[in-house]
Structure 1
């Protein structure tokens, strides 16, 4: 497996195959086939584009490694990043490519608010330290700020930052810190920047090796927050979904997209409530729904355990309680999930609502007469926990 294939597999695991694009050739009208990028991540208003360069060949010297880096990284890869930006502007509505699920999408660059550009390289050990320490390129042309990261460093980043939201947040933070502290940061290992990000220290604070300790102290227990077992092959596991999405085949993207935008602390709260619902189904006892609301994404989640006798009416419960939860919190997005025990398995039905909040006298009266939820309380949870 070469570096480009490794990055594609790694990103598919973190960002899910639905949001990962590794076959990125497209043919605009009146033009020959073009390659957009070696890899693309597209999640709602976040896009990350990658150019991947791997040093091959046995013959090597300090001078040849220097020449390779200057030619392949500082020239070719940087120009390819520039071309990506040009393509998006020039070929609007013509960049149609499949994701790693095989679903075809027309990339809408006008929807992108966060655009991260990364060059990943795997170089020879003879590469001079000056080039090994190169962490970004700032172009006055179309490319703008371009991250430069070694393949080993990117792998280590992904081993510490385990969710799409964390990866995106890190590279935003990294760009801010490198612009403000270029001289200090260029001579530091990548881990020191990762550690400073984990610590919660502002990017205005000068980077140093002391932040490496946060890498070693980080509690990185994936089992506490991973819901990959639910999201993997998600479309095949859905019993029912109600969504505003016109294309029913892709309707589930709206749901997993909201999960993909959560931090690990949010996911831990989600997993806790799913576990409580499954336990309630096992005992077949009545329990009020569980909820969380994530202010950063303006999305609420309502988890509804149902007794077996409610199975035939579960979609009514799903609709009514999801609408009520969305209305109660005055939020734009809300995901509802019902759980019902079915022999040795569980039926899970989903509802996704995405629209502006509007006053509804009928719901107001209904909630006043019967409030079907547990009270919510505001909690400030640190993004990361340390030993």
Structure 2
């Protein structure tokens, strides 16, 4: 993506506070410039804490949006908070941060294993079914960067189930779910164990399968964008084939006929939490 295409820029000043820094400077958390607008001012250790807690690019963006919304309100009300107070309020979806919230931050559950996709993103470019479309690599990465942790977690859950199906050699219907805010459908499938995987026939079969499943998932949930992953097993190893489709939704008789069979499971709308704290009913791993 080119700089001129960026529509949402966050201006952030990160500083290393010295021991002699006056208290009023240390407590300054933002500045509104007449020329460039809102500027976040964050101490270096707080900035590292933000990145460590949130991890996912879109969550970092949403945090600074929240920060920009609440800090002027707090200044007007004469309320002084620390960065951990803002973080707790953001993670808990509070209207405004409250002083002294750091105790709750210690209860935050950083379930990296539940949402981390970095290990399957490595060398992603060499696993795209249309390598001649060189921008697909960046577009797939961009689609994941545009969604919150909850979507990464939902993708990871389906990935794990599909991996287990491939490992066991058990046929399983493909998964698909959509995130309406980015108009994108994500698809995860395990290759049918009776289909060829390697050689010319296997490559052709995998390519056709990931494209068809991604196209069908995107069509079924009526989104513009589809990102698909197909998992195949060869001996003790797994093959990952990625696919990106970006085109306006339009009626397609072939896909209608394909979807008349139970290709996917039933779809339902639901709200998924991004963050968990110890003691929450939804806490993972309990």
TM-score of the two chains, using structure 2 as the length reference:
0.88
Distance 1:329 1:114 in 2: 27
How far residue 108 of structure 1 moved from its aligned partner, in angstroms, is 3.5
Q: Are 2:229 and 2:243, in contact at CA under 8 Å, matched by a contact in 1?
A: yes
Identify unmatched segments of 5+ residues in structure 1: 1-43, 45-106
Instruction: Say whether residues 1:125 and 2:19 are aligned partners.
Output: yes
TM-score of the two chains, using structure 1 as the length reference:
0.66
Q: Are 2:136 and 2:244, in contact at CA under 8 Å, matched by a contact in 1?
A: no
The correspondence for 1:241, drawn from 121, 125, 129, is 129
**Per-residue Cα deviation, 1:349-381 (whole angstroms, up to 9, x for no partner):** 11111111111233223322x231111222211
Instruction: Say whether residues 1:378 and 2:265 are aligned partners.
Output: no
Q: Which has the higher contact order (CA 8 A, sep 6+)?
A: 2
Map of 1:94 onto structure 2: none
Map of 1:139 onto structure 2: 33
How far residue 214 of structure 1 moved from its aligned partner, in angstroms, is 3.3
**Per-residue Cα deviation, 1:293-343 (whole angstroms, up to 9, x for no partner):** 112211111111113431221222122221111111111111111111012
Query: What is the RMSD computed on CA atoms of the aligned residues?
Result: 1.9
Distance 2:7 2:45 in 1: 28
**Rg comparison, structure with higher value:** 1
Identify unmatched segments of 5+ residues in structure 2: 279-286
How far residue 184 of structure 1 moved from its aligned partner, in angstroms, is 5.1
Instruction: Say whether residues 1:345 and 2:237 are aligned partners.
Output: yes
Question: Kindly tell me: are residues 309 and 366 of structure 1, through their superposed partners in 2, closer, same or farther at Cα, counting changes over 3 Å?
Answer: closer
| Pairs aligned (count) | 271
Map of 1:196 onto structure 2: 89
Runs of 4+ in 1 over 4 A off after TM superposition: 183-186
Q: Secondary structure at the match of 2:276?
A: coil
The residue correspondences of 1:21-32 to structure 2 (distance < 5 A) are none
**Per-residue Cα deviation, 1:60-106 (whole angstroms, up to 9, x for no partner):** xxxxxxxxxxxxxxxxxxxxxxxxxxxxxxxxxxxxxxxxxxxxxxx
How far residue 185 of structure 1 moved from its aligned partner, in angstroms, is 7.2
The residue correspondences of 1:201-216 to structure 2 (distance < 5 A) are 201-202=94-95, 205=96, 207-216=97-106
Map of 2:215 onto structure 1: 323
